[in-house]
Structure 1
Amino acid sequence: MSLSAYSRGLVAVSAATVALSTAGLMTRLVSIDGPTLLFLRGTIAGVFLLAVLAVTARRRIIADFVRLGWPGLLICATSAACAVLFIGALYTTSVAHVAIIFATCPFLAAGLGFLLLGERPGRVALIASGVAMAGVAVMIGSGEEGTLFGDLLAFAMTAMVALWTVLVRRYPDKPALPCTVVSCFLSATVALPFATPLATSSHDLLVVLGFGVLAFSLGFLLLTIGARDVPPVESALIGALDAPLAPFWVWLFLGDVPALTTLIGGIVVLAAVVGHVLLARNAPVVVAVPSIDR
């Protein structure tokens, strides 16, 4: 892996994490139910990204979708499952709980990356993951009440994100934009039988439109592109920034003040991620990616 490719992946994954961390804020700004939000977000994002694909790919658009194959469809199904579980968790437990649980993703990604890709995470990444987990432990003491069902959905979502990260890394030849388009429409299709989009107010529709295009569409696309050049444990470690960012957006725009332990834990997670990024150049991860059938 060249340094330039790693750097580009690092920037893409970091930017994607910031964008996607606003999902919790979106659920607090609307009054619609979870399935309706999932349907609208998936449909809006899918249409927007399909239009982008039509402009950028033009005559290659059909060929790009054909290139997905079974591995690409597996990536699409996994990311769609992530979206369904994510929205479900946000509606059944607190934003902080979802973010805190998601911060455990580096451990799952490291294990899956080792089992499926043969990637051995470096010492720096493992230490940083441990520090991030310590920050998560501090944040759990924030006193926010969640629900067992919602927390289980958040854990399932975290596991699916870890699997998705490894799959994208395992099959880097699969086109990112078509993958994201299919994923959006899959999640919308799953939600449709339970959704009531015609009852959505103009305010809620505008909120979902803004988040669906600017946060979800562009964020998920950047994540899909960046995950190709960043090992799963590092990609998931950067994603742990969602833990301090998600409650931060809710505080910034809605005035919900996080508990002191949440702030302290968020700072610890942030320090772990920044420290890892700064030290990774001197302690790169050894990557051994199996040959890919093309």
Structure 2
Amino acid sequence: MALSSRAQGLLMVLTATVALSTAGLMTRLVGVDAPTLTFLRGLFGGLFLLACLLTVSRGRSIDEFLRLGRVGFFISIISAMAMILFINALYMTSVAHVSVIFALCPFVAAGLAFVVLKERPNAMSLFASGIALVGIALMMNGGGGGTRGGDLAGDFLALAMTGLIGLWTVMVRRYPQTPALPSTILPTVMAAVMIAPFASPLLASAHDVVLILLFGVCGFSAGFLMLLVGSRLLPPVESVLIGSLEAPLAPLWVFLFAGEAPDAHALVGGTIVFAAVCLNVVAGHRTSRNVCGDAGA
């Protein structure tokens, strides 16, 4: 049986969130600095996505980029800036801190969606967001956890990145006709170009290059593309609320594979965030079923 558009959006955004949540682990497994990591990840990710575009466009690649227009270019700039801020924040503070701050994004997206789209979030999304806020507050109360404590400058970068991602989510919803692949390729290339003067890719070891290649393609590029497509099928507050699952997932990967253990506050708070997301998804599914049932009556 074919999935509904909402179910497809949920699946894409959820899968994308899991893939993108591995970014913190990547920063702990490689020995390069933040600019070099940003440059190499953008280079590898951009080349992979460009290959995808060349495969599916059948000679219309230039036309696809031209379809971006001024709006698509603006969305790409937002994405590129968020990418740069994200990696630098992970280097300057703990993965748990970055993830917790990013989990505030549903509130940013909801506010921007109301202003830009005149789209009122439903009562259940607001209720679930409130529950998520409790979990986020609990996690922040426990500090950063792990080997890197929370640093104010890193937290500020994470907060700025969160605002940009909230704006990006609303813009994607507002302009769904923006071509997906070019909208993903351009910001990755932009981020690499912006950071190139500060990067030292020739000093990276073969081990680091291979890891960045794997994470850049499987975790970042594929995940970002699925997030872009899936976000068009869901209200901004709902898609970003699912994305807040990164708050418990990112520290989990770092704990399992890099030994950076979050404290009890992070574990309990992350569980609360996860419960809030599940509550919202289940309630939304029941609502959509009831609407379908009423329509068929």
Superposition TM-score, scaled by structure 1 size: 0.94
Q: Does 1:97 align with 2:97?
A: yes
Q: Could you say which residue in structure 2 is the equivalent of 1:216?
A: 220
| Counterparts of 1:256 and 1:216, CA distance in 2 | 21
Letter of the structure 1 residue corresponding to residue 165 of structure 2: V
Deviation at 1:258, TM superposition (A): 2.0
Q: Could you say which residue in structure 1 is the equivalent of 2:235?
A: 231
Q: Could you say which residue in structure 2 is the equivalent of 1:289?
A: none
Letter of the structure 2 residue corresponding to residue 140 of structure 1: M
Letter of the structure 1 residue corresponding to residue 260 of structure 2: D
2:16·2:226 contact (CA, 8 Å) conserved in 1?
Answer: yes
Deviation at 1:252, TM superposition (A): 1.1
Match of 1:167 among 152, 168, 171: 171
2:48·2:217 contact (CA, 8 Å) conserved in 1?
Answer: yes
Q: Could you say which residue in structure 2 is the equivalent of 1:88?
A: 88
Aligned pairs (5 A) from 1:15-54: 15-54=15-54
Aligned pairs (5 A) from 1:256-275: 256-275=260-279
What CA deviation, in whole Å up to 9, does each residue of 1:181-221 have, x standing for no partner?
Answer: 10110000011000000111001101100000000010000
1:45·1:213 contact (CA, 8 Å) conserved in 2?
Answer: yes
2:85·2:157 contact (CA, 8 Å) conserved in 1?
Answer: yes
1:124·1:283 contact (CA, 8 Å) conserved in 2?
Answer: no
Letter of the structure 1 residue corresponding to residue 224 of structure 2: F
Letter of the structure 2 residue corresponding to residue 109 of structure 1: A
Aligned pairs (5 A) from 1:147-186: 147-186=151-190
Q: Could you say which residue in structure 2 is the equivalent of 1:204?
A: 208
1:22·1:215 contact (CA, 8 Å) conserved in 2?
Answer: yes
2:97·2:143 contact (CA, 8 Å) conserved in 1?
Answer: no
What secondary structure sits across from 2:143 in the alignment?
Answer: coil
Q: Could you say which residue in structure 2 is the equivalent of 1:63?
A: 63
What secondary structure sits across from 2:260 in the alignment?
Answer: coil
Identity of aligned residues (%): 54
1:94·1:146 contact (CA, 8 Å) conserved in 2?
Answer: yes
Deviation at 1:102, TM superposition (A): 0.4
Deviation at 1:283, TM superposition (A): 4.1
Aligned pairs (5 A) from 1:185-196: 185-196=189-200
Aligned pairs (5 A) from 1:110-125: 110-125=110-125
What CA deviation, in whole Å up to 9, does each residue of 1:15-58 have, x standing for no partner?
Answer: 10110000000000011000000000000000011011101112
Match of 1:254 among 251, 255, 258: 258
What secondary structure sits across from 2:172 in the alignment?
Answer: helix
Letter of the structure 2 residue corresponding to residue 254 of structure 1: A
What secondary structure sits across from 1:263 in the alignment?
Answer: helix
What secondary structure sits across from 1:281 in the alignment?
Answer: helix
Letter of the structure 1 residue corresponding to residue 134 of structure 2: A
What secondary structure sits across from 1:137 in the alignment?
Answer: helix
Q: Across the two proteins, how many residue pairs are aligned to each other?
A: 282
Deviation at 1:256, TM superposition (A): 2.7
Q: Could you say which residue in structure 1 is the equivalent of 2:295?
A: none
Letter of the structure 2 residue corresponding to residue 133 of structure 1: L
Superposition TM-score, scaled by structure 2 size: 0.93
| Counterparts of 1:197 and 1:125, CA distance in 2 | 43
Q: Could you say which residue in structure 1 is the equivalent of 2:142?
A: 142
| Counterparts of 1:72 and 1:55, CA distance in 2 | 21
Deviation at 1:141, TM superposition (A): 2.5
State the Cα RMSD in Å.
1.0
Q: Does 1:133 align with 2:133?
A: yes
What CA deviation, in whole Å up to 9, does each residue of 1:157-179 have, x standing for no partner?
Answer: 00000000000001100111111
